[in-house]
């Protein structure tokens, strides 16, 4: 009897953990940020990463399975900080807010939903928790 109860409790706990891991986090950017970020992306990033974020040759994709495979378990802050330290190629040249806006656009392009909370340079949530597309998930 005790073993059956322990097995049942373990199963319930595992189901709760899996459900929490799969449940998306609350939105971390606004629609306005994503729209403004799209314009900034098209102006500053699309010449290399392509207007549809598909990348080319050695230029990585910024949307889809490849992107989520690389960045899904990293945080929104990791992505924003990487871009602000390394992009555009040849030396970062954008203001701090523009990097945040481009991050919002990239998240939106990967299925994240906009909300009322503004993305900031300090926002740090795992990317996979805010995107609808999960690494390895079938589209």
CB atoms under 10 Å from CB of 51, counted, come to: 11
Q: How far is CA 134 from CA 15, 36, 112, 117, in A?
A: 18, 25, 11, 22
CB 130 within 8 A of CB 27: yes
Over residues 14-52, the pLDDT tens digits come to: 444 444 445 567 899 999 999 999 999 999 999 999 999
59 against 17, higher pLDDT: 59
> Taking CA 72 as the corner, what is the angle to CA 80 and CA 116, rounded to the nearest 5 degrees?
60
Min mean pLDDT across 68-72, 74-78, 91-95 is at 91-95
Over residues 81-121, the pLDDT tens digits come to: 999 999 998 878 999 999 999 999 999 999 999 999 999 99
pLDDT recorded at residue 10: 46
Long-range contacts of 136-139 (CB under 8 A, 24+ apart): 136/65, 136/69, 139/65
Model confidence, pTM: 0.79
Q: Which one, of 58, 45, 66, lies nearest residue 110 by Cα? A: 66
Q: What are the chain's domains? A: 25-129 (1.10.760.10)
């Amino acid at each position: 009897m005790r073993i059956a109860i322990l097995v049942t409790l373990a199963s319930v706990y595992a189901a709760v953990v899996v459900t929490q891991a799969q449940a998306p986090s609350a939105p971390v950017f606004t629609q306005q940020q994503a729209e403004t970020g799209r314009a900034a992306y098209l102006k500053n990033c699309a010449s290399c990463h392509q207007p549809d974020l598909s990348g080319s040759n050695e230029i990585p994709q910024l949307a889809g399975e490849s992107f989520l495979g690389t960045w899904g378990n990293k945080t929104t802050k990791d992505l924003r900080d990487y871009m602000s330290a390394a992009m555009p190629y040849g030396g970062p040249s954008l203001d701090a807010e523009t990097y945040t806006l481009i991050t919002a656009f990239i998240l939106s392009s990967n299925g994240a939903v906009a909300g009322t909370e503004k993305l900031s340079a300090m926002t740090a949530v795992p990317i996979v928790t805010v995107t609808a597309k999960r690494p390895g998930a079938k589209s």
